[in-house]
A and B are shown apart, each in its own frame.
Chain A
Amino acid sequence: MPVKVTLTVNKTVHHLELEDPEMPLLWAIRDLLGLKATKFGCGKAACGACTLLVDGVPVRSCSYPARLGKGKTITTLEGLGTQAEPHPVQQAWIEEIVPQCGYCQPGFMMAAAALLKRVSNPTDDDIDQNILNVCRCGTHTRIRKAIHKAATLAQTGQAQPNTPEDGA
C-alpha cells in the first residue's frame, strides 16, 4: 500500500506518495526529490556516505525509512550552505582543499556540521569519537584540520553558520 508523507527538506515542504512504504530516506531524497549530494555507499549504515541531518541529528539515511521523516526537519548538504553562502564547514573544506574523489565528503561534512552544533570547539578526541565515516582516498588529516578551521570560522563569524536544524 502506498503511503503519503510530508517531508520538510532544506526548508521546503514536499508532499510525497511513497509507492514503497519502506523506501529508505536516502532514495526518496535522491530519486523523488532529485537531491544527489547524499550518497549511496553501502546500504547498511556502515560507511556514512548517506549521512544527513534529521532534526539536527546525523542519520544514515540508507537505513532510515522515509516515512519516519514525517514532521521532522531534514537537512542535506544542499541545504547546509551554498557557494554564495557557505556553511563554515563548507568554507573550511574549500580552504583546506579537502576532497579527493569527493564521494564520501557530503557525509563527512554533515557529520562535522552536527558535531559543531553540539560542541562548538571540538578537540581531536571529540572528532575521533564522533566522526565515524569511511574515506578511501585518505583525506583524514585534512578533514581534521577543516573541522578545527570550521569551528574557528563559525566563532569569528567569517562564515555564518546556517542553522537549518532549527527549522524555517
Chain B
Amino acid sequence: MAHKGKLSRRKFLIRTGLGTAGVLALGTYLARNPIRRSVLQTLSTMDLTYVGDTDDPLIWFELTADNHVLLLSPKVEMGQGIFTGMAQLAAEELEIPLERLRVVHAATATGNIDGLSTGGSTSIAGLWEPLRELAATFREMLRTEAARKLGAPLSGVQLKNGVFQYGDSQLTFADTAAGVTDWNLPETPALKAADAFRHIGKPVARVDLAPKVYGDPIFGLDAEMPGMLYGAVLRPTHIGARLLKADTQKAAGMPGVVQVVEAEDFVGVVARSYAQAERAKAQIEAEWEAPVHLQQADIEARMTVGNGKHTIIQKEGGPMEGPEGETLEFRTPIGAHAQLEPNGALAHVEEGRATVVISTQVVGLTRKEVAERLGMNPEQVNIIPAYLGGGFGRRLHTPHAVPAAVMSKAVGRPVKYIFSRQEEFQHDMFRPPTHHRMKGRLGADGRLEHLEHHFVSGDVGNNSALMIPGVPTILGADIGAVRGGLLQYTGVPNLRAVYYHVDLPFATSWWRSLGLLANTFAIESFVDHMAAKAGQDALTFRLQHIPQDDALGARLRAVLERAAKASAYTETVRAGRAMGLAASVDAGTPCAQVVELSLEEGKIRIHKVTCVLDPGLAVNPDQVRAQCEGSIHMGLSAALYEEMQVVDGALTPVIYGPYRMLLMKDAPREIEVILLQGKETPGPVGEPPLGPIGAAVANALFRLTGKRPVRMPLAKSI
C-alpha cells in the first residue's frame, strides 16, 4: 500500500558535491579559465549524481501489510550491485533487518524519477547521505505516528527490528501507517555514527541473488503483456546509409505478419513471434544509399594526434622541445559493449496513455522521448524499468522505446521490439578509437623532467543526449574522452596533457570507464618505458613522481606499494612468468594492479591479477570486490582481444566469436582484491578498476618479450 499524504516540503541538502566524474577529472587546469570555472561550478553544485526528488520519503518508501519496506529505486540495477548497497544504507537508518527491505525499480508513475541516469559509478557515493537522511526521516515520521497511536511520549517509543514498542504495546510499521493521510515531516535526524553500523560495511549477499539463480523473469526482455506481438525494424548494415526505397509487399505476406509499419523514420514489421518478425524483416526489399569506400585505415588516419581541434587540459611548466627525449605512440580500437541482453522495449500505447517496460540507464530521458514522439505529456507515459542484462554505458541512450511505442500504436496492441545481435554490433554506440603520443625526458638525476600526453579520441560525452547543450563548446574537451587522460605524476615539473577532438562517421559514446582504459594504457605503458630508461624499477620510479603531501597522492602511493608487496612484484622473469604493474586514479578512486602472465604455445596466459583499490568506505566489501573482478575481466577482454573494424563501409564483426571476448579459458586463474580505506565516505567503484589492467598486461608482456606492445588488442602483438 502506498501512502501519499500531504507533507510540508523542505529540501534535503545534497552535500555530495560529486558532480560528474569527468568534471572532477577536468578540475584543476580548466578551472583556471573564468568562463569554464563558472560552468564547472554549475555542474558541480547541481547534483549530477541524482536529479530528482530527495525531499519526500513517501515517494521513496512504501510499506507492505506483512511489514516489509519497499524502496522504490530511481536508480537501476545492471549488475553493479547498487540495490544491495541501497538496501544496506536504508535498512541502517530504518532499523529493520535487511531481509525486510525490498528494493524495486520505481516506475515513473510513482513519481520517483531520476532525471539523469544510472552511471558514472556515482549511485552509492551520491546517495550515501540523501538516502540515509530519507530513511531516517521516514523512520521519525513513523515514530511520531506510533507515539500518537500508542499514546506515548515520542521519546518513550523504542524501535527494534522494525517494530515500535512502548511498554507492552507494539506497532509494526504497517500498523503505524494505517489510516494516516497527513504526515508531519520532522527535521532531518542526526545520522548514525559509523561505529554503530549494523549493515553498512558488511559483505552481505546480493539482494537479487535468488531471482538471478532460480531464473525469475526480472529482465526487460522477460516482460509480457496480454496480446503481445513482436516488432522488428529495418536497419542499415553500412555506416551512414540512407534508405531510398523499401518494398514491403513480400514481407507483408510472410507467415505470422500482422502489419507492416511505415513510420516517418523507419520501416518495421509486426508479427506474432520474434522469429516471424525477423524473417519478415529480411524479406523487405530495400535500396540504400551508402558510402562503401570507408576502411579501417581511413578511420586510423583521421584518428591521429595533430588532427582536429585541440585543448590543453593539463599544463605545468613548459613544453618539451628539442630532439632529446623519448616518444612512443599507442592506439586502441573501436570497442563494442556486447552486453548479453539485447536492447529492446515492450510498449503498449492506449488512448491517452502509454506503458513501456525497458532495460535502460536513462529512465527520465526515455519517458521524454516516448512522450514527445506520441504527442503526450510525460505524465501520460509510464516507464517501468526492469533489471538490465548488462549496461556498461550502452543503455545511457535507449531510443528503442520509441519504435516499440510507434508500432504498438499502429497495431493497437502491446509490441515487444528486440534489437538483433547484428544490430547490436553495427548500431552500438561504440567506445571510440584513440591514438596517443607520449613524450618524456629524464633529467640528470634520472627523474622525469618532462611528461606529455597528446591524445585524440572520438566523442564520448559530447554527442550524448545527457550532455547539457553548450557545455562541450565551453569546456573544449569531451568530459568522457579525457577521463584518465590527465597525468597523475604531478611531481614532474613539466606536464602537458592535450586532447584532440576528431569527428567520426559512426556513433561513439559511453563505454564503462570511458577514456580511462585507453588513456591509462598509454600513460602507464610509457611511464614503464621511462622507468626502464632511468634504470629504475617500475614501483620506485612511479613513487618518485607522486607527491606525498596531497591526500590523493598519498592514497595512490599506498595502493601502488600494497599491490607490489601483495603480488611480490618483481621484474625478473621466473619460470617463464613475467609481471606488469600499473595504476590510475579515476574520479578520486586510486587503483593499482599487478598482472602475472606467461606465453603458452604462443598464447597469453594470465595467471594472476592482484588488484588494490581504495574506494573509501566500502558499503558492501564483497560487491566492491565483485566490481573489481568484473572490471578486470572486462578490461582484459577489451585489452587482449576485442576489436571492431570498418571494412568496405560496414562495422564488423557482427556476432560473438568473431568479436572475440574473454572466455573461461582466458580468464585469470586467480584474482586477489585488496581494499584500502583512505577516506571515510564511499567513492566510485564500478569503473576505476578498469584503468590499470591494459597497461599492466602490456608491461608484463614487455618484460617477457622485450618488445613494447603499443596497440590494443594486445593478443595481436604476440
Contacts and interface: CB of A to CB of B under 8 A. Distances in A.
Contact of A44 (B218, B421, B663): B421
| B205, B656, B668: most-surrounded residue (chain A CB, <10 A) | B656
A70 interface: no
A34 B217 CA distance: 9
A40 B418 contact: yes
A36 B222 contact: yes
Nearest to A28: B273
B551 interface: no
Given A42-B656, A104-B340, A144-B664, A94 B275 contact: no
A135 B341 CA distance: 11
B255 A142 contact: no
A82 B214 CA distance: 6
B671 interface: yes
Interface string A128-143: 1101111111111111
A31 interface: yes
Given A41-B342, A138-B631, 14 more contacts: A19-B255, A36-B215, A36-B216, A41-B656, A46-B655, A83-B210, A100-B81, A109-B213, A128-B665, A136-B337, A137-B79, A137-B633, A138-B633, A142-B629
B616 interface: no
Contact of A100 (B79, B222, B276, B656): B79
A71 interface: no
Nearest to A46: B656
A77 B222 CA distance: 15
A127 B631 CA distance: 22
Interface in B185-226: 205-206, 208-219, 221-222, 224
Contacts of A100: 79-81, 626, 630
A55 to B, nearest CB: 20
User: Lowest 5 CB-CB distances: which A-B pairs, in order?
Assistant: A37-B215, A138-B633, A103-B389, A101-B79, A102-B212
B348 to A, nearest CB: 17
27 contacts: A20-B276, A34-B224, A37-B216, A39-B340, A39-B341, A40-B274, A43-B421, A77-B214, A86-B213, A97-B209, A99-B209, A99-B213, A100-B81, A101-B340, A101-B387, A101-B391, A102-B211, A102-B212, A102-B218, A104-B340, A106-B215, A128-B665, A131-B664, A136-B337, A136-B338, A141-B633, A144-B669
A8 interface: no
A143 B626 CA distance: 12
A167 B391 CA distance: 38
A20 B274 CA distance: 11
Nearest to B661: A134
Contact of B275 (A20, A77, A128): A20
A144 B667 contact: yes
B293 to A, nearest CB: 29
Interface string B508-525: 000000000000000000
A143 B341 contact: no
Contacts of A17: none
A40 B637 CA distance: 22
A137 B272 CA distance: 32
A102 B387 contact: yes
A101 B390 contact: yes
Contact of A105 (B213, B339, B662, B670): B213
A141 B670 contact: yes
Interface residues of A, number: 60
Contacts of B206: 97, 99
Contacts of A22: 275
A35 B78 CA distance: 22
A47 B273 contact: no
Interface string B622-664: 1000100111111001000000000000000001110001111
A106 B217 CA distance: 12
Contacts of B256: 19-20
A53 interface: no
Interface string B386-416: 0111111000000000000000000000000
Nearest to A18: B273
A100 B31 CA distance: 38
Nearest to B221: A40
| B205, B275, B632: most-surrounded residue (chain A CB, <10 A) | B275
B213 A134 contact: no
A43 B294 CA distance: 29
A135 B671 CA distance: 17
Given A43-B420, A97-B209, A134-B663, A103 B215 contact: no
A44 B655 contact: yes
A151 to B, nearest CB: 15
Contacts of A136: 337-340, 390, 392, 634, 661
A25 to B, nearest CB: 11
Interface string A68-106: 000000001110011100100010011001111111111
A137 B634 contact: yes
Interface string B595-617: 00000000000000000000000
A21 to B, nearest CB: 9
A82 B690 CA distance: 35
A97 B213 CA distance: 9
B214 A83 contact: yes
Contacts of B215: 35-38, 76-78, 106
Interface in B436-483: none
A6 B51 CA distance: 52
A76 B629 CA distance: 28
Contacts of B662: 138, 140
A18 to B, nearest CB: 10
Contact of B210 (A43, A94, A98): A94
A144 B663 CA distance: 11
A5 interface: no
| A22, A34, A44, A82: most-surrounded residue (chain B CB, <10 A) | A44
| A23, A27, A40: most-surrounded residue (chain B CB, <10 A) | A40
A127 B222 CA distance: 29
Interface string B366-395: 000000000000000000000111111000
Contact of B656 (A47, A78, A93, A140): A47
Contacts of B661: 134, 136
Contacts of A137: 79, 390, 630, 633-634
A50 to B, nearest CB: 11
Contacts of A78: 214-215
Given A20-B275, A103-B389, A134 B656 contact: yes
Nearest to B256: A20
B626 A103 contact: no
A27 B274 CA distance: 8
A19 B206 CA distance: 41
Nearest to A36: B217
Given A42-B656, A136-B338, A101 B629 contact: no
Contacts of A134: 338, 340, 656, 661, 663
A22 B280 CA distance: 14
Given A41-B341, A42-B655, A99-B212, A20 B634 contact: no
| B256, B273, B632: most-surrounded residue (chain A CB, <10 A) | B273
A100 B209 CA distance: 9
Contacts of B631: 138
| B388, B631, B632, B657: most-surrounded residue (chain A CB, <10 A) | B657
Contacts of B80: 100
Given A36-B222, A105-B213, A136-B392, A23 B340 contact: no
Interface in B276-300: 276, 278
